[in-house]
Amino acid sequence: MSVFTAATDQSLCAPLPVLGKDVTVPLVTGGEVTYAALDYAASAPALQRVWDDVTAYAPYYGSVHRGAGYLSQLSTDLFENSRATVAEFLGCRADDQVIFTRSTTDSLNLLAAVVPADCQVFVYETEHHASLLPWRDARVTYLNAPRTPAQAVETLERALADRDPSPSSRLRSSRGGPIGPALVCVTGASNVTGELWPVKELAAAAHAHGARIVLDAAQLAPHHPVDIAELDVDWVAFSGHKLYAPFGSGVLAGRADWLQEAEPYLAGGGASRKVARRTDGGVDVEWHSTAARHEAGSPNVIGVYSIASACKALTEAGFDNLVAREQQLVTAVRTGLAGVPEVKVLSLFGDDAPRVGVISFVVEGWNSSHFAAALSAEYGIGVRDGLFCAHPLVRTLLGSDPQEAGECGAPEAEPGELPQSRTDSTGGTPSLNAIRVSFGAGTPDEHIERFVRAVKELVSKGARWKYRTEDGRCVPDRGAAQL
């Protein structure tokens, strides 16, 4: 029986066409099956529409900016029109800049490189490493994991009110001392639990205390509309490869002042307006004040165009429709997992929290790497296991000390049924990893149904094959026979 109920709007049942939807993979137990890609939170498959647009442009490929030839001029128009498309997709304000980068990680490292020297940065320990780690050279305050959206806002308000003094600022803290510039970095949707964060409320709290805020929208933008002006955030960062575009492109969009005042993120051609030798043998440089200031080198035109194409495709499909269908998938997965007592779904804000199609869980009696390997080898389902580049958060959710160093992958012990708890039956500590299933606009209903069925069968009947640890990963033992 299907885990889905009939939709009142049949259009909700039509996933967007993606590359690889008909790819078949071999099963260790014999035969082949259509691959169920359920690892969208790491990288979503490219939309067929995006690939078709890029293929149509490819013969006209040329270097952008300053080229006199027709293809160069065409590519320049394509590049700058793509910038305008992304600005519209994000609801950018008139004076915002859209800078093209390599990824969300690159975007947030760019922003970290341009924050004022006396800036204090506030980051929740629950952040993905792309938004947790770039600020290490700044004055960073790490905030404890909140357990409700309201607690997230309250925690931030207290931290901002008590922030460190800065002798160069005219602003005053609650303690009466001068305070300098501050930046809050927060995710829009967790890459571990899929839960939505109260971005608009956090932005209001930040601005009330004279701080700015950057939104890591890597997991939010593919699932929900992101409007900079409506959310009242100062910057947004996201990656193309999570937005159904190929790898290698990203975006940082938002306020221009800190970006214009800082040295270029990369020094080189394209970022410079004028370069001249000095009489003392040095070089004088006048940098661009536009987005080009931080886009040195020959840009990734195809990557940029693919992001713009994905933005158009999602907009034309209609986010209301996409969100409604995805919530059907979320409900199907959560309902299916709830029917397996051995499964524990990880959550920060609780069962009723709104979320996107990202769900992490552990299975009693199983090491997560073993479970994920069996899903792949025996059912053709691709999920992810580990700590998801969010080590402090996952360790908190699994009941471990968030300050304890984490490590992804299978334990060196035999990859059989290790209890997913602080200690195993021998008194040792197993690998504290989890399993993550993630999906989106390109996911067929059948992939979700197969996943739920596979979880139930693995828990009730066990794996049908023997597995071993190889290079830190649990893999099928090809020399073994079917169990």
Are 143 and 155 in contact, with CB atoms under 8 Å apart?
yes
Angle at 87 between CA 106 and CA 60, to 5 degrees: 80
Task: Report the candidate in 433, 420, 437 with the shortest Cα–Cα distance to residue 360.
Answer: 437
Indicate if the alpha-carbon torsion angle 318, 192, 239, 210 is positive or negative: positive
Angle at the Cα of 441 (from 25 to 43), degrees rounded to 5?
60
Radius of gyration of the chain (CA): 24
| 389 among known catalytic residues | yes
Q: Could you tell me if 46 and 222 are in contact, meaning their C-beta atoms sit under 8 angstroms apart?
A: no
Identify the sign of the CA torsion 476, 477, 479, 483. negative
Strand, helix or coil for residue 319: helix
**Which residues, in sequence order, are bridge partners of residue 476?**
467
> Would you give the distance in Å from CA 475 to the centre of its chain?
26
CA 144 to chain CA mean position, Å: 20
Q: Out of 311, 389, 408, 474, pick the active-site residue.
A: 389
Give me the residue label for tokens 């259509």. 34
C-alpha 326/C-alpha 353 separation (Å) is 15
Which residues are catalytic, by number?
389
